[in-house]
Structure 1
């Protein structure tokens, strides 16, 4: 079973925000643009953006649009959807899972980045010495 479109869209934007591709205060595309880009309805986009709001990653400004939250808002943002709080409703459970998956994906990306940098640093130290080290 594939994940719902709203979860996929929310995870994609969460990854872009947490990865720095979308900086603080950047405006997200309109609901219509996101819907067209992903081949979904406005309702699906609304659910995706609600997940991001609940994570403290974005904020809506009436008549202006949806913007990436400031770093302070993101750090103090409290999600209404956590696995511990999720009621026994399938929709709430999916929302909670989406939040957790997004957090794990972001953490995994950061760990991979750090480990790659450390490995590159170690390889450059070894290459500087006399011992032959094969290129990566």
Structure 2
């Protein structure tokens, strides 16, 4: 089954919630990244003239995903960009997971981009990453 995400209408009334899942932890990170990008803008309407590479390491997958998704929000605010692509690579070295990610996008442009919510942050409210029947799943609530 392919990785996916679904926005949830009735979970966080003042915020935006989604569930993401994948057959692997890699697919889960990709699906969650796509959800955050889609929450901000339609990636199909965003170019790729801006790029930023990041590296993180953590023994806790939930903390690593939280930090990565928070990067998307940080760079949206710090650089004034929205994203067309997020590439993420995960490698396990003993008890530590290493993430190398690249965000691609362009500065916000209301005339050419379909902009959506102004995501202010990733919250810990209802945040849960787990494996269920062989699928990796996460619930995320975004502060908008």
Q: If you compute each CA radius of gyration, which structure gives the higher value, 1 or 2?
A: 1
Normalised by the shorter chain, which TM-score bucket? under 0.3
TM-score, length-scaled by structure 2: 0.26
Relative contact order (C-alpha < 8 Å, sep 6+): which is higher? 2
Question: By percentage of residues, which structure has more helix?
Answer: 1
